[in-house]
Amino acid sequence: MKKLITLTESELVRFIGEIIGEQTGPGITNMANSRGYEDDLEKKFPCVPRTVLLFVDFVMRHEKKLTTELGIDRNTLILLTKISVGILGRETKFGMSTEKKDFYAEIVKQLGLGKLLDSYLRKKFPSKTPSLGMGQFTKPNWDKYNLDKKVGDYNRSFNQVDQGLGILYSVFDRYNKAIKNGLTKNSSVNPILSKYGIINNINGTGNHALDMAILSHNMPENKILFPYCTTNHELYAAPCYKTKHKPFETPRSFNPNSKLLQRVKNPKLKEFPGELTVNRNDVIKNYFPNLSGPKHTAIGYLEEVVNYIKKLGCIK
């Protein structure tokens, strides 16, 4: 007969603290594997950060299985591996910039107390879903890409191999969606920003669908994996599946001093745009939206990932 145990918030916090105090150290994740083995891998892959060597090694050792499962060739697998490493770098500096609270949450989940912690977090922070691991996955996104079956249980995925594989599988999934939705393999552009001299070009992968698949690891798919069309406002584009579009939900979220608006001379274009009409038949080919994140832009995110990719020539 099962016995129901209830804990107060203070008891849960104390309980977790005791567990962390007892359990932190070598062996909690597979990132604490043999130093000697990692030393050998450093010689084999000198361009790869040490904290993701085991992931790269895993992919190379399981090359045949992965290429068969995904239906791709070796060159595509290598590219997906580099992209995965690049995203790990962008999200957490290859695991070196993980916040303390995330680290503790990962340990608690790995110790089999994920449901208890999730229940606590839902009550404490009902509107937030934590992003954990090197790849900063949320539980809903892990489930969305069926990674529990492809990789393993989310609560035990906080190691470099599983996090890297999670990105690899999910990027490929989104890439296929992007192609199906009509995105192309040509270079990404943003003619609005180019017109006003904000950018000269976008230093992406050279494949628009792939650029969008990378970006949507960090930003919502419904804003990314679709062709963009013009609107009745020359400064704003929108996903073509929409009929109406609000670039900003409220006047408060509108920045009248953005880099773009500083270059605009027409005072009417500088005003809060409100709700716009989408010209659904006027597609902007290979349009890459420069959406804003908490501390970054979409173009900045993509270019940082691509810069990491360019340094990974030893993966071949």
**pLDDT on residue 175:** 98
> Tokens 């890409």 belong to which residue?
145
**pLDDT on residue 129:** 72
Average pLDDT over residues 206-232: 97
Percentage of the chain modeled with pLDDT above 90:
73
Looking at 12-16, 63-67, 83-87, which range is the least confident one? Answer: 12-16
Query: For 93-144, how does the pLDDT look when each residue is reduced to its tens digit (9 = 90+)?
Result: 998 866 555 555 555 556 555 565 556 555 555 556 778 889 999 999 999 9
DSSP letter assigned to residue 10: H
- What whole-number distance in Å separates Cα of residue 192 and Cα of residue 256? 17
Q: Burial, 288: exposed, middle or buried (Cβ in 10 Å; 0-12, 13-18, 19+)?
A: buried
Ramachandran assignment for 303, one of left (phi > 0), alpha (psi -120 to 50 degrees), beta (any other): alpha
